[in-house]
Structure 1
Amino acid sequence: MSQSDLSMNNNMEVRSVLTAEEMAQSRKMQRRRKVIAFAFVTPLLLFVLIAFIAPIGTMLYRSVYHPTVAQLIPDTLDALSGWDETTDIRPDDAVLNRFSVELKQLAMTRKSGKLGEEINRAMPGTSSVIKSTARKFKKLDTELLRNEGATRLLASKPQWKEVEIWRAMKASGAVFTSSSYLTALDLDRNAAGEIVARDTQVYIQLYLKSLKIALMITFLTAVIGFPLSYYLATASPKTANTLMVFVLLPFWTSLLVRTTSWIALLQTNGVVNTFLKAIHVITDPIEMLYTQSATVIAMTHILLPFMILPLYSVMKGIDPSYLRAAMSLGAKPIPAFIRIYLPMTVPGLSAGALLVFIISIGYYITPALVGGTDGQMISNIIAFHMQSSNNWELAAALGSLLLALILILYWVYDRLVGVSNIKLG
């Protein structure tokens, strides 16, 4: 091999070594960039995990996890596991003896009321039975109850002879259960274990009413916000900036203050009724406060900026020469507006509608203050079960179903908006 060939081979080997080193260095730099990028994103990921994923996961878990009864009367539930609840025969005396002993222990630790509260959710009216029996058993000897607990229990209250109370106790003792979801859907299980509709439909009606109120608010904000956004987008910069201050002003005012001001306006002797009586439009005050209409009016006012801002941002970017070109070609103003300008505002309109709808369907403070019984929404019932009735499982089930409903509606919205964008394109 000649000297030139050897030199060429050596140069090629050097270049290949340099290329490999450069590639290794390049991969090292890429890994370093990824680590730096991940370090910048980590606080946001932690915030999302702590503020969103963890609470939602906890809510979903609490909606099916209910260990309270299992922790209060474990021996009784263990004995009831061998009892066939589909029959009309109550559990045998051995089960009742175990329950009598545990009921005395609960009375001594002042936890019998908690047991009565839990069983009462499955079978209304049993709370007083459990509490009164516990007070009687508190004075009895434990050994006596181990032998004669069934006799004493059946003699204390006639309800203990009924099969339904033991069915309710066994059903409430399940650690993981779907009963909260059944209740949230106005369903129940009969003695045979079949899922049947409840006699009173409460929560489904609340979901439908919440949807109706949210849709009404979304429609009203769109009707009011669209022309105002159009005027802001086409006005002079000085006028638009001045009016934008009034649009943003509600964000600088407390939500409680804005809601309370509507109470002052809509109450029986409020500003609206006083003005209408002064100009002789009405003779008797109109009941406007604590109604569904009051909820819609107050929430439309509060959520109107969430419709105006997305619309304004889209309209500001629309070239007004499009309309002038259409009219110069013979189109009339209204058809030109509908066929040319309106389709270009769909992104802003859909974004504003989505914002207003999602915020309004989960609103709590305003319906609670101005809505009364007629204007309550599902969020108020969820808050009631968390704060007053302490039924966190049912509250979690209602919240989970509301989340699922919003996700389904968002999916439908995404499909519709996607199809409309394809057609416009």
Structure 2
Amino acid sequence: MAVATSDTVIAEEGASLKKALRRAERRRKLGAFSLTTPLLLFVLVFFLFPLAKMFWLSVANPVIPQYMPRTVQALKDWSPPKLPPEAAYAAVAKDLKQARKEHTFGRIAKRLNEEAPGSFTLINKTTMRIARIDHGPWKAALIKIDKKWGDQATWRLLKRQSSPVTADFYLTAFDLRYNQQGNIVREPSYSQIYVPLFVRTFWMSALITLLTVLLGYPLAFWLTSLPDRTSNLLMIAVLLPFWTSLLVRTTAWIVLLQDHGVINNILVWAHIVSDQHRPKLIYNQLGTIIAMTQVLLPFMILPLYSVMRGISPSYLRAAISLGARPALAFWKVYVPLTLPGIGAGGLLVFILSIGYYITPELVGGQSGQFISNMIAYNVQQSLNWGLAAALGTILTVSALLFYIVYNRLVGTGRISLG
């Protein structure tokens, strides 16, 4: 009986100890979570919420449902190819009259004109003239004001814009549009804007990334081979551009690269080129590549340097002592060990490149601008925030996909030179 009682006490004490350990573990996790709460709130407010807002703007379509509710209701059951009934024309007339009173017809005209150029004039003219008409028949009255009201394309547009969400901004971002029959078609090659800009952004960013690797790798390797004091001093020179405004650095490149700038003057002075045949180094793709390579080079050097510092020089000496030539030992032994640095630096430089704005804007001219410059144009000048949000979302998703690919390759150690 005493043995049973002792076993029971031991079991109860064991259970109590386990509960105490679980409570201590919960308190530890709660304490750790409370320390990260400010960071989580910061990420939520200043990163996730703006991304969610950007995505919503890229599909939101509130203008027509909000300012033409009668038209939306009248077109609910209408389907082409026949023209809508008289009730739909009457709904348009009443909505435009109401929009004129509330001074909102400009928003209607702007939204429709974003999808079908010429709609701005149609809505403004109709709004002004329909106010002087007191009674129907509205179909004849609207067609008399403008023959487009007898065109199915106009009603297809209104029907399509009646939905509170739309994919129109993404279609425009991929240079697609609706034709007169309501089918999705590609823009003619001479009218395509965004797909060529995306292609240009990605290939120029890839080239800039490659150039930073070619320039940064030897420099990082040389820095690791120097004594610590000298290496630290030169590393300050690498970091020095971070202490200078990006605008100042880009302006300096304008001074260097312009037609009568420092570089061209030196080429003429050295009789490498004639004064009449100065090379065009700025306001084109070459200017963007040169300036961005210099601006982003430290972002490649730093990851490479941090990885190379952890590689022991004895690895190369061991390979050479076993009979390998220095170049082969460097390629087969040293370079594979630096691939994580190349991957991290390449990913960082590439993602920064595709979203760069100031440098392409100042030195890129017409042929050297990136998709970010078109996003800024839609935000600041054309005020087409939906299209800007769609372009920004595509750019964000592209960057995320590149990160996933990098993580799959480098994170699992799959990158190698064979």
- When the two structures are superposed, what TM-score results if normalisation uses the length of structure 1? 0.91
Corresponding residue of 2:158: 169
Flag structure 1 segments of 5+ consecutive residues without an equivalent.
none
Please say if residues 204 and 289 of structure 2, whose CA atoms lie closer than 8 Å, have aligned partners that are also in contact: yes
- Say if 1:356 and 1:98 are closer, same or farther in 2 by CA, change over 3 A: same
- Aligned counterparts of 2:402 and 2:309: Cα–Cα separation in 1: 29
- Aligned counterparts of 1:359 and 1:47: Cα–Cα separation in 2: 21
Corresponding residue of 2:352: 359
What is the Cα deviation at residue 257 of structure 1? Answer: 1.0
Q: Partner amino acid for 1:97?
A: A
What is the Cα deviation at residue 76 of structure 1? Answer: 1.2
Q: Partner amino acid for 2:146?
A: K
Deviation string for 1:286-328 (max 9, x for gaps)? 3222111111111111110000000001111111111112222
Corresponding residue of 2:122: 129
- Say if 1:163 and 1:358 are closer, same or farther in 2 by CA, change over 3 A: same
- Say if 1:30 and 1:412 are closer, same or farther in 2 by CA, change over 3 A: closer
Partner of residue 154 from structure 1, selected from 143, 160, 163: 143
Q: Partner amino acid for 1:266?
A: L
Q: Which residues in structure 2 correspond to 1:151-300 (within 5 Å)?
A: 151-199=140-188, 200-282=191-273, 283-284=275-276, 285-300=278-293
- Aligned counterparts of 2:333 and 2:7: Cα–Cα separation in 1: 64
- Aligned counterparts of 2:413 and 2:21: Cα–Cα separation in 1: 45
Check if 1:344 corresponds to 2:337. yes
- Aligned counterparts of 1:313 and 1:178: Cα–Cα separation in 2: 45
Please say if residues 67 and 175 of structure 1, whose CA atoms lie closer than 8 Å, have aligned partners that are also in contact: yes
Corresponding residue of 1:77: 72
- Aligned counterparts of 1:195 and 1:157: Cα–Cα separation in 2: 26
**Is the partner of 1:196 in helix, strand or coil?**
strand
What is the Cα deviation at residue 419 of structure 1? Answer: 6.5
Q: Partner amino acid for 1:29?
A: A
Check if 1:44 corresponds to 2:39. yes
Deviation string for 1:257-294 (max 9, x for gaps)? 11111112122222222222233323133322211111
Corresponding residue of 1:25: 20
Flag structure 2 segments of 5+ consecutive residues without an equivalent.
none
Check if 1:63 corresponds to 2:52. no
- Aligned counterparts of 2:14 and 2:319: Cα–Cα separation in 1: 60
Deviation string for 1:162-213 (max 9, x for gaps)? 2212221221222112122222122233455443222233221111111111
Corresponding residue of 1:415: 408
User: In angstroms, what is the RMSD of aligned CA positions?
Assistant: 2.1
Check if 1:406 corresponds to 2:380. no
- Aligned counterparts of 1:210 and 1:389: Cα–Cα separation in 2: 21
**Is the partner of 1:397 in helix, strand or coil?**
helix
Please say if residues 70 and 175 of structure 1, whose CA atoms lie closer than 8 Å, have aligned partners that are also in contact: yes
Corresponding residue of 2:98: 105
Q: Partner amino acid for 1:278?
A: W
- State, as a whole percentage, how many aligned pairs show the same letter: 44
What is the Cα deviation at residue 28 of structure 1? Answer: 1.8
- Aligned counterparts of 1:253 and 1:414: Cα–Cα separation in 2: 32
- Aligned counterparts of 2:255 and 2:86: Cα–Cα separation in 1: 63
- Aligned counterparts of 1:28 and 1:121: Cα–Cα separation in 2: 60
What is the Cα deviation at residue 160 of structure 1? Answer: 2.3
Partner of residue 29 from structure 2, selected from 1, 17, 34: 34
Corresponding residue of 1:303: 296
Please say if residues 173 and 391 of structure 2, whose CA atoms lie closer than 8 Å, have aligned partners that are also in contact: yes
- Say if 1:242 and 1:423 are closer, same or farther in 2 by CA, change over 3 A: closer
Query: Which region of structure 1 is more displaced relative to structure 2, 127-136 or 253-262?
Result: 127-136
The number of aligned residues is 414
- Aligned counterparts of 1:136 and 1:330: Cα–Cα separation in 2: 92
Corresponding residue of 2:383: 390
What is the Cα deviation at residue 410 of structure 1? Answer: 2.7
- Aligned counterparts of 1:24 and 1:221: Cα–Cα separation in 2: 56
**Is the partner of 1:345 in helix, strand or coil?**
helix
Check if 1:381 corresponds to 2:374. yes
- Aligned counterparts of 2:68 and 2:144: Cα–Cα separation in 1: 21
What is the Cα deviation at residue 412 of structure 1? Answer: 2.8
Please say if residues 100 and 150 of structure 1, whose CA atoms lie closer than 8 Å, have aligned partners that are also in contact: no
Q: Partner amino acid for 1:156?
A: I
What is the Cα deviation at residue 409 of structure 1? Answer: 2.7
- When the two structures are superposed, what TM-score results if normalisation uses the length of structure 2? 0.93
- Aligned counterparts of 2:101 and 2:367: Cα–Cα separation in 1: 44
Please say if residues 112 and 120 of structure 2, whose CA atoms lie closer than 8 Å, have aligned partners that are also in contact: yes
Deviation string for 1:28-85 (max 9, x for gaps)? 2122112111111111211121122212222222222211111111101211222223
- Aligned counterparts of 2:128 and 2:260: Cα–Cα separation in 1: 51
What is the Cα deviation at residue 93 of structure 1? Answer: 2.8
**Is the partner of 1:43 in helix, strand or coil?**
helix
- Aligned counterparts of 2:162 and 2:250: Cα–Cα separation in 1: 43
Pick the structure with greater CA Rg: 1
Corresponding residue of 1:90: 83
Please say if residues 122 and 172 of structure 1, whose CA atoms lie closer than 8 Å, have aligned partners that are also in contact: no
